[in-house]
Structure 1
Amino acid sequence: MNVDVDLAPLREYLAAEGADGYLIDDDASDADQRYVSGFTAPDPYQTLVTADGVHLLVSGLEYGRAAAEAGADSVSRRAAYDYQRLVAEHGQYEGKLRTLAAFLEDHGVDALSVPRTFPTGTADGLREQGVAVTVEPEGIVTDIRATKTEWEVERIRASQRANEAAMARAEELIATADIEDGTLVHDGEPLTSERVTEEIEVTLLRHGCALDETIVACGADGADPHDRGSGPLEADELIVIDIFPRDKETGYFADMTRTFARGDPGEEARRRYEVTHEAYEAALETVAAGVTGADVHGAACDVIEDAGYETLRSDPNTETGFIHSTGHGVGLDIHEQPSVSPSGGDLEPGHVISIEPGIYDPAVGGVRIEDLIVVTEDGYENLTEYRVGLEPTTDARE
């Protein structure tokens, strides 16, 4: 539970709009729900923010755990509002609405603000119950989440340590593989993207993290930034490994990318790696509170364009070169605010962002280097303690 959540901006909005409360109706896969409630459940539950606190409405199944774990001022059972009787008399949909309306009335809520993702059916049903419902269009909770507390930074740092262990295992496999007819071979079998991915997943599980998918992409596959990769890994080719796990207990993500080559990928590939490294360093050097995400992205583009490669800034239609933004916020979502892109706004102390320039071309392969950092008043703190180098080793962690 993040005990330092500051919902003052949301409450100021509610007061300005004349709303009595702000309601989230979702399960904990919604990052705003998890953040505000300090609770996780696989089924939807309701979190109400009012001037006097945060109030949860949960099923009887979740009540005991919510009462013990949630970061809320009060937790109510649906049974307290005759939920089962209302469902029996009016059906599931109407029963839920009447229960929710009674819960809102209990907390003095006549006018409600809801997030953009709020269920339309629930909003319409509450209006029929006499509750005024308006959508909060700015994503205030998402913006609040962008600035991390010290507690959150430490959770992300822990996730990145697990990430580094997984990256080290992947790099070790590549570094220790034999080369047979241009293919990497381990334990007498071709070393595949799938095998490396499996080892990454196993390592993360041992460190309390998990992921739905990762990127281990070799050669032309690596020239597509979101190609997950498949099949045998080849010598003399660029191999992009991008791992973005989530801590299973805290829910906070990490993110890191390294590019390796076992053997000699050629002069042009090495040059692209060097230019990407220079762009990564230029972006890092630009980061500070008050600098915009656009400034940081521009610093990376400057280096890449000066080296003779296209970017989306120099050619919005290019399919090769630097074809994505320099970074993004990381927290309870893998992609969240702030943006390190042409539209990125001011960076603030506590923003946790990735820095990940890259250069891509199917004829050469892909290069990407990514660290995870937290913005400070006068610069940044790197949450990543993993060396940057093209040649894989068995001792990569600093």
Structure 2
Amino acid sequence: MSGDGAGPGDAEENLRPLRTDLRPVVEAVREAGAAAFVAVGDRFDDDLRFLTRFSGPDRPYALVVVPDTESGDRAGRAVLCAPALFREQAEREFVAAARDADGEFHDGIGREIRTEGVGDHAGERAAGVVDDLADGANAATEGDGPTVLAPASIPHDAAVYLERADNDLTSTDAVADARARKTPAEVDRLRRVQRAAVAGMARAEAVLAESGVTDTTAEKSKRDSRPPLRWEGEPLTTERLRREVNQVLAARGVRDAGNTVIGAGPSAADLHYVGDDPIRPGETVLLDISPRGPDGYYGDVTRTFVVDGDGGWERRAYVAVEAAREAALDEVEPGVPAKTVHGEAAAELAAYGFDPNADEGEAGFTHGTGHGVGVSLHEGPSLSGAGELRPGHVVTVEPGVYDPEIGGVRLEDLILVTDDGYEILAEYPFGIVPGIDSA
């Protein structure tokens, strides 16, 4: 058994500056013949966090981006309407951090902070900035207000304020598209938090390997006929194991964010189980660890173990999922349709006799093969969706099979699509028996 070698020092390693290139947003505004782009949200809005790199308050604020004029008398600008009490932080995180060593903005888009009208709704403040900067120059027809692009997730009340100010609001995928392809600086963060997740997995596997079977004579066919495993003199439960994992995550400077999913037996078939269940010998223990790092980026790794198994359903499921993972990875390269990766994993599971199209609560493969990971745990691209894989995509590969009456098996890694294939961001060995490295 071995991890990735991650240690507490990872949180202080030198990382490339984390900056967002706003030029794709400006280009989307131009292509739509719009006047501006507006995003409204709070510190929990991942689009706004990505666009601004500002970890602001838990009340709404707004970002307005306008392109340069065709005459060249005004450069492109991005205005963050921040609360007055957060001005210094906003200047540091949104403005200063976007400057190169020579003092110029790295993407050529000027940035500024405005704190006027702090008592007004963020949507109303954004509408005021649009009116000030856009001058209605891109109205569709004379007498109409300017077209303003916004993410589809813009809050309804913010949209109402913008429309009341005579703006024609249109949704755009520009932010989602920009988020899907990661920069080297973003990959730095993803790799760091994934190393922490792998370290948490190593701790969980060690605890399972140290756990004892207290009654080997009881009948194995009934789940409750064998007492739970014991570790350090007490029954081992999913909650005890979760605490051990989360302590490791905290020591490495990341937050568990409520995403340390551990199920045992039937609860291992629950994709998001965070309850407390006894862990018994002979049943699957599924651990899905998805912490969040200081800059907002997530990790995501899953392994499945069995202590004192009898080689029945769980062994067959494990072999099938391993084969599905390999089949999926064999398809990963730039230009491959994302659906192809999912299709190959599903076909491999079907070859082993598992339903590749099972509905939730049924036995078989009940979810997609993978999803993008970044400042959201689930973002584009989806390996079950449209589009092709591109360099810079960071996605999970996580086939699994489940039986609600028995348990579940899932194996998951986080990969970066490269120019000629893929890179696993933090490797971890495979093996159904904890403490025995099968890699």
Q: Specify if TM > 0.5.
A: yes
Aligned to 2:79: 55
Q: Distance in 1 between matches of 2:270 and 2:250?
A: 27
Q: In the superposition, relative to structure 1, how do residues 287 and 190 fare at CA in structure 2: closer, same or farther (>3 Å)?
A: same
Residue by residue, what CA displacement relative to the aligned partner does 1:360-383 show, whole Å, maximum 9, x if unpaired?
A: 113432100000000112210111
For the pair 1:337 / 2:373, whether they are aligned, the reply is no
| Paired residues of 2:373 and 2:394 also in contact (CA < 8 A) | yes
Aligned to 1:46: 62
Residue 125 of structure 1 and its aligned partner are, at CA, apart by 2.4
Q: CA RMSD in A?
A: 2.2
For the pair 1:169 / 2:203, whether they are aligned, the reply is yes
Residue 139 of structure 1 and its aligned partner are, at CA, apart by 2.1
Aligned to 1:237: 283
Identify, as 1 or 2, the structure richer in helix: 1
Q: In the superposition, relative to structure 1, how do residues 10 and 103 fare at CA in structure 2: closer, same or farther (>3 Å)?
A: closer
For the pair 1:116 / 2:152, whether they are aligned, the reply is yes
Amino acid at match of 1:50: V
Report the TM-score when normalising by structure 2. 0.81
Identify, as 1 or 2, the structure richer in strand: 1
Aligned to 2:189: 155
Amino acid at match of 2:40: D
Choose the corresponding residue for 1:135, options 149, 170, 173. Answer: 170
Choose the corresponding residue for 2:418, options 353, 357, 376. Answer: 376
Choose the corresponding residue for 1:279, options 324, 327, 333. Answer: 324
For the pair 1:179 / 2:194, whether they are aligned, the reply is no
Choose the corresponding residue for 1:24, options 39, 48, 51. Answer: 39
What is the number of residues matched between the two proteins?
A: 380
Q: Distance in 2 between matches of 1:358 and 1:369?
A: 7
| Paired residues of 1:168 and 1:396 also in contact (CA < 8 A) | no
3-state DSSP class of the match of 1:162? helix
Aligned to 1:76: 113
Residue by residue, what CA displacement relative to the aligned partner does 1:86-137 show, whole Å, maximum 9, x if unpaired?
A: x5xxxx55xx66544433333235322222122222322233334x13121x
Q: Distance in 2 between matches of 1:97 and 1:224?
A: 40
Moved more, 216-225 or 158-167: 216-225
Aligned to 2:133: 107
Q: In the superposition, relative to structure 1, how do residues 223 and 3 fare at CA in structure 2: closer, same or farther (>3 Å)?
A: closer
Choose the corresponding residue for 1:366, options 387, 400, 408. Answer: 408
Q: Structure 2: which 5+ runs fail to align?
A: 1-15, 68-75, 99-109, 137-145, 216-225
Q: Distance in 1 between matches of 2:300 and 2:91?
A: 33
Q: In the superposition, relative to structure 1, how do residues 236 and 36 fare at CA in structure 2: closer, same or farther (>3 Å)?
A: same
Amino acid at match of 2:155: P
Q: Structure 1: which 5+ runs fail to align?
A: none
Residue 196 of structure 1 and its aligned partner are, at CA, apart by 0.8
For the pair 1:310 / 2:367, whether they are aligned, the reply is no
Choose the corresponding residue for 2:315, options 263, 266, 270. Answer: 270
Q: Distance in 1 between matches of 2:123 and 2:430?
A: 55
